[in-house]
Amino acid sequence: MSVSSVRSFRIRNVGRLLAAGLLAGSVSHAAHAAVTLNEWDIYNYPEQTAAVDEGIKEFSQQNPGIVINRSVHSFEDTRIPLKLALTAGDGPQIAQVNQGGGDMGSLVKDKLLLPLDSYAASNGWTTRFPDSILKRNRWSDSGEFGSGKLYGVASLGEMVGLYYNKALLDKAGIAVPKTLAELESAMAKLKQQGTAPMMLGLLDGNMGQQLLSTLWQAQIESHDRKTLDNLIYDVGGTFKDSKLVNAASMMKSWTDKGYFFPGFQGIGHDDAATLFQNGQAAFLVSGTWYLGQFKDNKDIHFAAMPAGEGVKQPLMVGGTDLAFSITSTAKGKDQQEGAAKFINYMVSDAMANPLAEGGLPACQHQQSGENASGQSAAGRGVSGLADTQ
What CATH number corresponds to the domain at position 75? 3.40.190.10
pLDDT at 29: 37
113 and 197 share a domain? Answer: no
Is 376 part of any domain? no
Q: What is the pTM of this model?
A: 0.72
pLDDT at 359: 54
Is 181 part of any domain? yes
pLDDT digits (tens, 9 = 90+) for 313-353: 999 988 788 999 999 999 999 999 999 999 999 999 889 87
Overall number of domains in the chain: 2
151 and 181 share a domain? Answer: no
Give me the domain span that covers residue 171: 158-319
176 and 267 share a domain? Answer: yes
69 and 175 share a domain? Answer: no
Is 4 part of any domain? no
43 and 122 share a domain? Answer: yes
Is 385 part of any domain? no
283 and 340 share a domain? Answer: no
How many C-beta atoms lie closer than 10 Å to residue 4's C-beta? 13
pLDDT 10s per residue in the chain (389 long)?
Answer: 443 443 333 333 333 333 333 333 333 333 456 899 999 999 988 888 999 999 999 999 999 999 999 999 988 877 899 999 999 999 999 999 998 889 999 999 999 999 999 999 999 999 999 888 899 899 999 888 989 999 999 988 889 999 999 999 999 999 999 999 999 999 999 999 999 999 999 998 889 999 999 999 999 998 888 888 777 777 777 888 899 999 999 999 999 999 999 999 999 999 999 999 999 999 999 998 898 889 899 999 999 999 999 999 999 988 788 999 999 999 999 999 999 999 999 999 889 878 766 555 555 444 333 333 333 333 344 444 433 33
Q: What is the 3-state secondary structure (H, E, C) of 98-141?
A: CCCHHHHHHHHHCCCECCCHHHHHHHCHHHHCCHHHHHHHEECC
Is 21 part of any domain? no
- The C-alpha angle 171, 176, 182, rounded to 5 degrees, equals 105
- Reported as type and span, the H/E element at residue 8 is strand 6-9
114 and 189 share a domain? Answer: no
Is 378 part of any domain? no
Is 23 part of any domain? no
